[in-house]
């Protein structure tokens, strides 16, 4: 594949700026710009879009997003050592890249939604990736400030996000994601593609917001799923005991058999359970 830009190879960038990877920051860098280009293209047409990237590091994915035509990229990087390398990318793409030295966990991206929903694309640091996803899918306003999430996770975490009922990976994360989003796997990336290589395979997934998720109170949904999956092998009439003095009636209100188990219930059933739980609480 052709070179994606005239900037130096990422290995040289890392050497020039002394960017030895730090485990505490989840730094596993992608140095193959053809691969980062494949990720960037998976996010679709970026020409009219502001893209939010979390953790640009030495800039491999950032460069691909810009080369793929992103109108503007806002990149949030916690490690100040990466800033000089990212400045070189900004100079190469004048006016199209803003780098903020910040912690993505405390940065509020909803204000970036100036000219329409943004796309979020990231090779996420493994230690904060799940929390960031939860923040984005539990945002108060819906439809949210983003139109798609194209995210690289450890394979096992990706499976827990996109899992359907009846599978081992199905649980709280799949419920939350499936309630508000449609999600799917794009492709796997083996450990050798990263520097340093992690122990496990990674998976690129994509989530798009459902315009009208089933009406449900988020806190109630979180409470019932946490309780039900806290003891996932038990029948619901046992695992939900802590939720209500009359678990059998709660389940009957939601039209769910007491002998069912959490992992067999689909999202509609959990929403029904959360709504029955809310009604009893407010009664």
Indicate whether 64 belongs to the interface with ligand SAM (CB under 6 A).
Answer: no
Say whether 234 sits in a helix, a strand or coil. Answer: coil
Residue in 61, 189, 207, 271 binding ligand SAM, rule: CB under 6 A = 61
* Least separation in angstroms between CB 124 and ligand SAM: 6
Could you give the residue ranges of the DSSP H alpha helices within 18-72? 33-42, 60-67
- 8 A C-beta contact, residue 244 and residue 253: no
The C-alpha atoms of residue 156 and residue 169 are separated, in whole angstroms, by 8
* Least separation in angstroms between CB 94 and ligand SAM: 21
| Number of shown-chain residues binding ligand SAM (CB under 6 A) | 23
Indicate whether 27 belongs to the interface with ligand SAM (CB under 6 A).
Answer: yes
Residue in 15, 105, 200, 252 binding ligand SAM, rule: CB under 6 A = 105
Residues in 71-100 that interact with ligand SAM by CB under 6 A:
76-79, 82
Of 102-110, 215-223, 231-239, 257-265, which part binds ligand SAM (CB under 6 A)? Answer: 102-110
Beta bridge partners of 261: 235
DSSP assigned state of 115: G
Maximum separation of any 2 CA atoms in the chain, in Å: 67
Beta bridge partners of 123: 152
Indicate whether 125 belongs to the interface with ligand SAM (CB under 6 A).
Answer: yes
Q: How far does the chain reach from its first CA to its final CA, in angstroms?
A: 64
* Least separation in angstroms between CB 54 and ligand SAM: 6
* Least separation in angstroms between CB 134 and ligand SAM: 14
Indicate whether 56 belongs to the interface with ligand SAM (CB under 6 A).
Answer: yes
Q: Which residue is nearest to ligand SAM (CB)?
A: 55
Phi-psi region of 169 (alpha: psi -120 to 50; beta: other; left: phi over 0): alpha
Report residue 172 as tokens.
């709280």
Identify which of 218, 283, 217 has the alpha carbon closest to the alpha carbon of residue 249. Answer: 283
Nearer to ligand SAM, 203 or 227 (CB): 203
The number of residues making up the chain comes to 283
Indicate whether 123 belongs to the interface with ligand SAM (CB under 6 A).
Answer: yes
Indicate whether 129 belongs to the interface with ligand SAM (CB under 6 A).
Answer: no
Binding residues for ligand SAM, rule: CB under 6 A, are: 25-30, 54-57, 60-61, 76-79, 82, 103-105, 123, 125, 128
């Amino acid at each position: 594949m052709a070179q994606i830009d005239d900037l130096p190879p990422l290995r040289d960038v890392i050497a020039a700026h002394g960017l030895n990877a730090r485990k505490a920051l989840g730094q596993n860098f992608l140095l193959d710009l053809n691969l980062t280009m494949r990720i960037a293209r998976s996010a679709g047409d970026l020409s009219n879009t502001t893209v939010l990237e979390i953790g640009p590091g030495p800039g491999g994915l950032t460069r691909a997003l810009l080369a793929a035509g992103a109108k503007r990229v806002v990149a949030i990087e916690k490690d100040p050592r990466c800033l000089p390398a990212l400045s070189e990318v900004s100079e190469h793409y004048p006016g199209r890249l803003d780098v903020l030295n910040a912690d993505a966990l405390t940065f509020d991206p909803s204000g970036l939604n100036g000219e329409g929903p943004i796309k979020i694309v990231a090779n996420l640091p493994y230690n904060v990736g799940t929390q960031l996803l939860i923040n984005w899918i539990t945002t108060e306003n819906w439809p949210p400030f983003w139109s798609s999430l194209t995210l690289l996770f450890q394979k096992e975490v990706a499976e827990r996000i996109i899992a359907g009922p009846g599978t081992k990976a199905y649980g709280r994360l799949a419920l939350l994601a499936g309630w508000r989003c449609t999600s799917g796997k794009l492709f796997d990336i083996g450990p050798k593609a990263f520097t340093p290589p992690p122990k496990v395979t990674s998976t690129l997934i994509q989530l798009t917001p459902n315009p009208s998720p089933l009406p449900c109170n988020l806190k109630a949904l979180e409470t019932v799923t946490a309780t039900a999956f806290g003891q996932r092998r038990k029948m619901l009439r046992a695992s939900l005991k802590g939720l209500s003095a009359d678990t059998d009636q709660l389940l009957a209100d939601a039209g769910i058999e007491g002998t069912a188990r959490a992992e067999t219930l689909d999202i509609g059933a959990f929403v029904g359970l959360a709504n029955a739980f809310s009604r009893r609480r407010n009664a």
